Each structure stands twice: as structure tokens, then as C-alpha cells.
Amino acid sequence: MGAGTRTGKHAVNDDERWTWDSVWPAPAKLNLFLHVLGRRADGYHLLQTVFRFVGRGDRLRFSPRADGRVTLDEPLPGVPPESDLAVRAARLLQRETGCREGAHIRVEKRLPLGGGLGGGSSDAATALLALDHLWRTGVPRRRLREIGLALGADVPVFVAGENAFAEGVGETLQAIDLPPAWYLVLEPPVQVPTALIFGDPQLKRDTPPLPASAWRPGLGGNDLQPVAVRRFPEIARHLDWLARFGEARMSGSGACVFAEFAAEEAAREALAQLPGDMRGWIAAGLDAHPLRGSEDRRQRTEDSNICGREAPGN
């Protein structure tokens, strides 16, 4: 069974412990490889990649509003509140379900903007998962993935909640088991516009497809990396330093770069050598998103109240 298709079951695990008082995690992702296979007629690129969640990310808090409004505590610099992905996710969920409740959203940003770690997409997915639970809208995970895709190609994998081999524009997901690992992630001091990288005429767009069954950790590269390195010398400098500890790769369209370690101690030893003009951190690879719903939970009852209104058909 593919990732995120458990229709009719709780989207969030351990339901009783997640409340309006909770701090909701929005983990980062790493692209363990990223190939560009071609481009569709609508301009979107066809990709293959492996997404892995790691144990560092943004943190979201939600407060109920009875007036139906969705508001944001501290908008990101240069990003109007109505353009914030978490706010847009909440409003799409309201539109999908007819929910009349609202929410005030606080986002503690711990992931860099334009870093290739999926921060905005992860925030949007967490908003969908959290508010679906808090508002009791009961939307199946499959449908939440579809709603998330309207916000961005990376949102569905965060909603699905499993490390995945992804294809298409990134929305076709096959759950994948990955071995334990630690990662040293560096944050070059640049923001990389995704459209700039994908629009570069020198981007390689004809990598042959790789069967999901043939992929293994360490196989493949990042087709976006040569373009980003050429355009952003800081990415190249950070990759060069990181390469002394093993294979260094860029995540997504950049700017963040990472190296994999088998043990936490080795990752910490490398981090301790980080030059003073570089920023970095270590995190463990996760087996699943922290909000991944358990498979043995009972289905929601069809006649339960949904978001303060009667369920359809009552």
C-alpha cells in the first residue's frame, strides 16, 4: 500500500495527547537524491527523489477562534499573512469542510527560508493535520494530501508522514524504509529561489528514470546542485568543507547541504570542527513524521459531529 492512503482513520497519532495546548512539530526533509527526468507541457518538471524526515524543524501552536478567522501571530518578513502557507492550508481546510471555527497560528521558524528543507511545506502540512484534528473535521489523509498538493508539490509527503520514494512533480509517493542515520546540515547564508534553479537553461532535464526497487542509500545525485553551485558560491564553499567528512549533497534546490553519518558521535565530532563563519546542526533521520497516525486506530464514527456542525446526512 502506498504512503498516506489510510482513508477513514485518524490522521494524527496518539489523538488524546494532541490538544490546543500542544506544540505541533513540522520536521525538515532531506532529498537523499533528486533527479530531473523531463518537463511537462505545463512547465512543471518530472522528478524522482527520496524524501527523508529529520529530527529538526519548525514548531507550530494554535489557538481557537470562534469568529471563523484564520490569523497569524508573526508574519515572515516580506510574506503577507494571506500568502503564508500555514494560513492558506487552514483556509483550504475550512473551504473543504465548511468548518465555521477559526484559529490563530504561531510559527516558530527554526528552518531557513529558501533552504531546500521544505520548511514552508512542512508548516502547511502540520496546519492541515493539526486543524483537522482540533476542528474535528475528520478529513481522510488521502484527501488532505490532495488539498496539500494545491499548496505545493512537497506538501503531500509531509501529510503522508512516511519517508518516501517520490515521482511525478513529487506527489506520487511510495513509502520506503531507511536505515538509521545522522545528518550534519549546513545553512549557507543565501536564499535560493526554486524557480531560478528550475528555470536555468543549463539544468539537466533528461536523467533516465530509476526504478524505485533499484534505489539504495547513496545512489543518485542532485541534478539541481550544479546550477545552484554555479549561481551561489557560498553553496559551493559549504559543500567543499563538508566533503572532508564524506559525500556532501544539497537538499532540494538549496541552499542547505548535508552529509550522512552512521553514528551521532561522528556527526557531533564533525559539527565541532565547523568554522566560525558557518552555521550548522545535526539531527537524526526519522522513521516517520512525528504526527504519523497509527494503523490500528479505530475509524471515526460516521454520525459524529464535525467542526460544530452536523455530519452530512444527519
CA distance 26 to 106: 12
Q: How far is CA 22 from the centre of its chain?
A: 20
Q: Which of 112, 119, 131, 9 is nearest to 53 (CA)?
A: 119
Query: For this structure, is 29 an active site residue?
Result: yes
Please state the length of the chain.
Answer: 314
Catalytic residue among 29, 84, 132, 223: 29
For residue 255, whether the previous peptide bond is cis, meaning omega lies within 30 degrees of 0, is yes
- 167: phi > 0 → left, psi -120 to 50 → alpha, else beta; which? beta
Give the type of residue at 193.
Answer: P
Four-residue CA torsion sign, 187, 238, 290, 221: positive
3-state DSSP assignment of residue 71 = strand
Q: How many CB atoms lie within 10 A of CB 310?
A: 10
CA distance 292 to 309: 27
- Asked whether the beta carbons of 58 and 107 are under 8 A apart, the reply is yes
CA distance 119 to 189: 16
CA distance 294 to 152: 25
Give the type of residue at 122.
Answer: S
The strand pairing partners of 280, in sequence order, are 186
CA distance 26 to 108: 10
CA distance 187 to 307: 40
Catalytic residue among 58, 123, 132, 154: 154
Residues catalogued as catalytic: 29, 154
